Chain A
Amino acid sequence: MNTFSMAPKQTRSNQGQGVIALVAIVGFFFMPLIAVFTFEIARLYLAKQELQNACDAASLAAVATLASSDNSDTTTAHKNSIQAALKILQRNFVLGNKLTSAQLASSRDDQAQNIGETKAFFEFLNPVTHAVEDISSPNAKIVRVYGSLMGTLAFGQFVGIKSLAVNAIATGAVPRFDVALCFDISGSMDDQTPISCVRRKWDPTLNGGSISYEVISGNNGVANGKLFDVIKPDATGSSLNGVPPQLLTESYWNGKMYFTEYLAKIYGVPGLRSLNGYPDAGQPPGNYPPGTAYTWDGYQAFTDMVVNIDGNPTFNAFDYQGYSFPNLNTLIEAARGNLENDAVYKSSKANTSVTVNPKAGYQKAYLDAAANRLQPMNDAKNALVTFNDILNTDADTHFGLVSFDSAVGADQNSTETWYSVDESSSYGQKKGFPLPHVKIDNAVNASNFDQVNKSIKSCVAMGSTNIGGAIHEAVQDIKNKSRLGSVKAIVLFTDGEPTLPCGPLDTSDPLRNARLAAVEARDAGIAVYTVGLAQNPAIIPQQVAILNDKNSDPSTGGIAAIAGHGGTFTEVTNSADLRTAFAKIARNLVRLIAHEANGDV
Chain B
Amino acid sequence: MYKQTSKISRSARNKSGSLLVELSCCSFMMLVFVILAVHLSAIIFGAYKNDIACRDAARAAAQGEDLSQATKLAQVVLKGHETVSFVGKPVLKSPIIYQTYNGAPGPQSSPYVELSTSTEVTLPFQPLTFFGNAQFKDGKLKFSNTYTFPIVRLK
Contact (Cβ within 8 A) B33 A53: no
Contact (Cβ within 8 A) A46 B51: yes
Contact (Cβ within 8 A) A16 B110: no
Contact (Cβ within 8 A) B114 A91: yes
Contact (Cβ within 8 A) A57 B108: no
Bound form: Cα–Cα A8–B15 in Å? 8
The 10 closest A-B pairs by CB, nearest first: A96-B132, A61-B150, A83-B108, A91-B148, A61-B110, A84-B110, A16-B22, A42-B44, A27-B29, A16-B18
Contact (Cβ within 8 A) B147 A23: no
Contact (Cβ within 8 A) A61 B21: no
Interface residues of B (CB under 8 A from A): 4, 7-8, 11, 14-15, 18-19, 21-22, 25-26, 29-30, 32-33, 36-37, 40, 44, 47-48, 51, 55, 58, 103-105, 107-110, 112, 114, 130-133, 144-150, 152-154
Name the residue on A nearest B116 (C-beta): A93
> Among the listed A20, A35, A42, A154, which residue makes an inter-chain contact with B36, where contact means beta carbons less than 8 Å apart?
A35
Q: Chain B residues near A360 (CB, 8 Å)?
A: none
- Is there a chain B Cβ closer than 8 Å to A438's Cβ? no
Contact (Cβ within 8 A) B29 A39: no
- Is there a chain B Cβ closer than 8 Å to A590's Cβ? yes
Bound form: Cα–Cα A54–B58 in Å? 11
Contact (Cβ within 8 A) B47 A46: yes
Interface size class of A (residues with CB under 8 A): 35 or more
- Is there a chain B Cβ closer than 8 Å to A587's Cβ? yes
Name the residue on A nearest B7 (C-beta): A5
Binds B, one of A64-72, A131-139, A185-193, A532-540: A64-72
Contact (Cβ within 8 A) B11 A96: no
- Is there a chain B Cβ closer than 8 Å to A9's Cβ? yes
Given contacts A20-B22, A20-B26, contact A53 B133 (CB under 8 A): no
Given contacts A46-B51, A84-B108, A568-B153, contact A12 B19 (CB under 8 A): yes
Contact (Cβ within 8 A) A65 B110: yes
Contact (Cβ within 8 A) A88 B148: yes
Q: Chain B residues near A84 (CB, 8 Å)?
A: 105, 108-110, 150
Bound form: Cα–Cα A12–B21 in Å? 12
Q: Chain B residues near A76 (CB, 8 Å)?
A: 107
Given contacts A27-B32, A96-B133, contact A87 B19 (CB under 8 A): no
Q: Residue-by-residue, is A446-457 near B (CB-CB < 8 Å gives 1, otherwise 0)?
A: 000000000000
Min C-beta distance of B99 to chain A, whole Å: 10
| Sample of 25 A–B contacts (CB below 8 Å) | A9-B11, A13-B18, A19-B22, A20-B25, A23-B25, A27-B30, A35-B40, A42-B47, A43-B131, A46-B47, A50-B51, A53-B147, A57-B149, A61-B150, A65-B108, A69-B107, A84-B105, A88-B150, A92-B146, A92-B147, A96-B133, A154-B130, A584-B154, A587-B152, A587-B153
Q: Is the interface of A mostly helix, strand, loop or mixed?
A: helix
Q: Chain A residues near B37 (CB, 8 Å)?
A: 35
Name the residue on B nearest A50 (C-beta): B51
- Is there a chain B Cβ closer than 8 Å to A80's Cβ? yes
Q: Chain A residues near B48 (CB, 8 Å)?
A: 46, 49
Bound form: Cα–Cα A590–B153 in Å? 9
Bound form: Cα–Cα A57–B110 in Å? 11
Q: Chain B residues near A292 (CB, 8 Å)?
A: none
Contact (Cβ within 8 A) A587 B154: yes
Name the residue on A nearest B111 (C-beta): A64
- Is there a chain B Cβ closer than 8 Å to A128's Cβ? no
Contact (Cβ within 8 A) A95 B131: yes
Contact (Cβ within 8 A) B150 A38: no
Contact (Cβ within 8 A) B108 A24: no
Q: Chain B residues near A24 (CB, 8 Å)?
A: 29
